[in-house]
Amino acid sequence: MTAQKNIFLKDSKIAFDKKHRKTLNFNISKYDEAVAKGKLRYRNMDLAKHRASYLKKKVVSNLAHYLETFETNAKTNGIDVVWARDSKEAVSEIIKILNENEAKLLVKSKSMISEEIELNENLEKAGFEPVETDLGEFIVQVAGEKPYHILTPAMHKSKEDVAELFHKKFDTPADSTPTELTVFVRKVLREKFTSAEVGVTGANFLVADVGGVALTENEGNGFMSVAFPKVHIVIAGIEKLIPSIDDLQLMFPLLSALGTGQQVTVYNSLITGPKRADEANGPEKMVVVLLDNNRTKIAAEPKHVDALKCIRCGACLNACPIYKNVGGYTYNTTYSGPIGSVITPFMKGFDKYNHLSFACTVCGACTDVCPVKIPLHDLLLLNRKIAVDENHGTFAWNKGMKAYEWAFKKRKNLDRVNGKVKNALLKANKNVLGKQKKFPAFAEQSYSKTILNLK
């Protein structure tokens, strides 16, 4: 058993923490209610999904073409484009930019890809001060934690948890309301926005035909991270492309409807370069860091390539019965839930992370809600096959699967593995379902045998 699988099994016990489950289920239920209303605004949601799926499939099937188109047009707009093969190269290039601009303080808009390359940790080690400006990200940064959810970083915290955290860290009143805490954070961050030399954002979409970066957010912090600092650094996965500015009218509302239930997110920006000579505000320099980090490996897979269509709406996490019980931290990865379970083994190795693909009931709920029609549960099954083919299973698992294969090949074999045999095996491994559950006893004879004997 790998160390990561051991961690998963240990951390998954949080499913029995009633307070944690209550908080998580409450927060997800609020999103579910909003999304249900958001979907009603569509006359034909399935048609919108089909169009978005086709659009993203066209991109990931012609990735090199759209990347080159984006790079050419971005450079024409005065944007520097940097290519990074992995996290190490991305962090190195970003530190190089910071040093060239004599920067020490960075303000960061919400960006899962910056978590993927562990940007905050690496910058702090190098003597820089990165500050998260999204409220949820700010909360988990103050708590010394990682984002819990792709879309909602503090999904696991109640308003009381946040009030207690801020009272401990900032000496705010212990009974502060969410509004009062938000006002407090706004004051703290306003000073950071106006002092930072560099702003860092992700990219919801890279728009190839105009060489621009599309950002969508609800708090205005993303736009402020771009407007105040003299340097704007964008970190984006190479799959984030859409062909045309015309595609935003499809993608922005779909992302909003299935991510937060909104008709459209509050702030939507298309940034096409540093400020021009006739503009008063905006960065003097703009750099886009295009990150591979094994995405080309996924792109080379004939079926898994569909995973690169993901627009990071978080809908599959909210629908997943496993995520709703064990929570985000149990996965111990940047991307949790179904989409994380699909892509993480390719990014970090099947030898360490193939167990995530087995943390799935194969109910298909994730596939049903996906706005770009990624067949997530099918890809998780394919991941399991890869794990078996590459012999990543434990000795007990491999032997168990061989026994399963033998038993189900013939009715005669299955009848030999009767209730007595099964119950004896269960006695040898009493905790097969964990200490919190008890496996029910098997009937001594199979249903078919019982029926035959009655006749």
Contact 234, 287 (CB under 8 A): yes
Contact 294, 346 (CB under 8 A): yes
Crossing angle between the packed helical segments 18-39 and 248-259, to the nearest 10 degrees: 140
Contact 288, 202 (CB under 8 A): no
Q: What local confidence, expressed as pLDDT, does residue 62 receive?
A: 97
Contact 185, 107 (CB under 8 A): no
pTM of the full structure: 0.92
Which pair of tokens denotes residue 398?
């491999």
Sheet (strand 105-108) strand order: 80-84, 285-291, 231-237, 198-201, 105-108, 129-132
Please report how many Cα atoms fall inside a 13 Å half-sphere around the Cα of residue 114, on the Cβ side: 27
Contact 289, 82 (CB under 8 A): yes
Taking the C-alpha atoms of residue 151 and residue 115, their distance in angstroms, rounded to an integer, is 13
Q: Which domains does the chain have, with CATH numbers?
A: 3-9+314-389 (no CATH), 41-293 (3.40.50.10420), 396-454 (no CATH)
Which pair of tokens denotes residue 10?
């240990």
3 state SS of 80: strand
DSSP labels, 227-289: HSSSEEEEEEETT-EES-GGGHHHHHHHHHHHHTS-SS-SEEEEE-SSPPTT-SSS-SEEEEE
Pairing mode of beta strands 267-271, 212-217: antiparallel
Taking the C-alpha atoms of residue 221 and residue 253, their distance in angstroms, rounded to an integer, is 20
Full pLDDT tens readout for the chain, 455 residues: 678 988 998 999 999 999 999 999 999 999 999 999 999 999 999 999 999 999 999 999 999 999 999 999 999 999 999 999 999 999 999 999 999 999 999 999 999 999 999 999 999 999 999 999 999 999 999 999 999 999 999 999 999 999 999 999 999 999 999 999 999 999 999 999 999 999 999 999 999 999 999 999 999 999 999 999 999 999 999 999 999 999 999 999 999 999 999 989 999 999 999 999 888 889 999 999 999 999 999 999 999 999 999 999 999 999 999 999 999 999 999 999 999 999 999 999 999 999 999 999 999 999 999 999 999 999 999 999 999 888 887 777 778 778 888 888 988 888 888 888 888 888 877 776 677 777 788 887 777 777 666 55
> Residues with Cβ < 8 Å from 186, sequence gap 6 or more?
none
Q: What local confidence, expressed as pLDDT, does residue 259 receive?
A: 93
Query: HEC string of 375-444?
Result: CHHHHHHHHHHHHHHCCCCCHHHHHHHHHHHHHHHCHHHHHHCCHHHHHHHHHHCCCCCCCCCCCCCCCC
Taking the C-alpha atoms of residue 171 and residue 167, their distance in angstroms, rounded to an integer, is 4
CB atoms inside a 10 Å sphere around CB 315: 27
3 state SS of 187: helix
Cα distances (angstroms) measured from residue 194 to each of 200, 279, 427, 449: 14, 18, 66, 78
DSSP tag of 204: S
Taking the C-alpha atoms of residue 132 and residue 146, their distance in angstroms, rounded to an integer, is 12
Q: What local confidence, expressed as pLDDT, does residue 451 receive?
A: 67
Q: What local confidence, expressed as pLDDT, does residue 286 receive?
A: 98
Cα distances (angstroms) measured from residue 97 to each of 76, 102, 130, 200: 20, 9, 14, 12
